[in-house]
Amino acid sequence: MTEQTLTFQPDIDIDFKRDDLADLPTEEMLINMGPQHPATHGVLRVVIRTDGEMVMEAIPHIGYLHRCAEKIGENLQPYQFVPKTDRMDYLAAMNNNQAFAIAVEQLAGIEVPERGRYIRIIAAELNRIASHLVSFGTYGLDMGAFTPFLYSFREREYILDLLEALCGARLTYSYIYPGGPNHDLPEGFADKCREFLDYFEPKVDEYNDLLSFNHIFVKRTAGVGVISAERAIAYGLSGPVLRACGVRWDLRRTRPYEIYDRFDFEIPIGIEGGSDGIPAGVVPGDSWNRYFVRMLEMKQSVRIIRQALDQMPADGPVAAKNAKNAKLPKGSVYFEGENPRGQLGFYIEGDGSKIPYRVKARGPSFCNLSILTEVCRNLLIADMPAVIGSIDVVMGEVDR
């Protein structure tokens, strides 16, 4: 058997611009991203139709975590349903408790004492910071940066310690009920909370130096997955995803509930890069802005908590009496609160009994996810984690 060798002949001229090559057939491929892929942030399955490395279409498939939460709410008294709201957005359980409690209070005409209102604000804003810290850390992981994940969970542990002192739990709290919080603040809580705020606020600037303005991170996220303000409104987007498009809309300011109108804070929105220390290439509505709005919001939550601690009455009742046994009059109510991921709404219809006739939840993650197909079209496959991570979905709230 003789040995054969292949030699390259440089005199062969290949014209890659020939017209007949443009009609060369290519084969599309369907790729499953998830539901076990870590970059989908839960049991989200995205079916991607690709042509080479380009995404032609990305269709989210949901329902893997469906638990009939709304139907359960139609068979329990409101105070019994509160633990179910914890399991919707399990990274922001306090905010879920708060939104559902306010909806019930509006329908049943329950008045919450002043001290109880301040306690609810403090708990909800602490949970907002903890939720954004998870988003910051996991988004860094999606983009290949491991260190921010460790830092974010280090700071989050301090918040979980505070919330554990408040109610005994570290994830699903069941603390805010219709009528007010379960019980008063523990002794020394205010001082420990102020100590944490003084420690945490400078950390946000360190995170920005570490990740937000990192050259590689900016290249992966700036100008990627851009959503215009018009499209965001048309799709019903809300929260940081909407504000990153340049729309200054936050229910805590535009439609104040609880006592948010008593606090001074700003509403961060998406910004143009190239000035004021913002990296070039950044545009409103891109993945970088969706991430960075949350970084700015953490500082605003610190401002709100400080003001709440200063304004809160020193003593007094924290919850309305007999609120748990209140009957729901005939009629309906719809209330939306500003969850860390957007506008969380609850529709409740009463028929005169203690158990609601109808319960419906409007999850912000569900609505924000609806734009995924449009925003991912004609992107690279490698850009998919950047877009999905910037939307920051929680599948327990999407599927319910």
Residue 55 lies in a domain: no
Instruction: Give the Cα-Cα-Cα angle 119, 125, 126 (nearest 5 degrees).
Output: 90
Residue 21 lies in a domain: no
Determine the pLDDT at residue 8: 46
Question: Residue range 6-28: average pLDDT?
Answer: 56
Q: Of all helices (H) and strands (E), which one includes residue 253?
A: helix 251-254
Tokens of 159: 């918040």
Look up the pTM and report it: 0.90
CATH code (residue 288): 1.10.645.10
Residue 27 lies in a domain: no
Provide CB contacts within 8 A for 60, sequence distance 6+: 44, 45, 46, 369, 372, 373
Q: Over the stretch 53-87, which tens digit does the pLDDT of each residue have? A: 889 999 999 988 898 999 999 999 999 999 999 99
Total tally of structural domains belonging to the chain? 1
Residue 36 lies in a domain: no
Provide CB contacts within 8 A for 239, sequence distance 6+: 338, 339, 340, 341, 342, 343, 364, 368
Residue 54 lies in a domain: no
DSSP lists the bridge partners of residue 337 as 344
Binning pLDDT at 50, 70 and 90, where does residue 1 land?
very low
Provide CB contacts within 8 A for 281, sequence distance 6+: 218, 219, 222, 223, 273, 274
Q: Over the stretch 242-275, which tens digit does the pLDDT of each residue have? A: 999 999 999 999 999 999 999 999 999 999 887 7
Range of 210's domain? 69-399
Residue 221 lies in a domain: yes
Residue 201 lies in a domain: yes
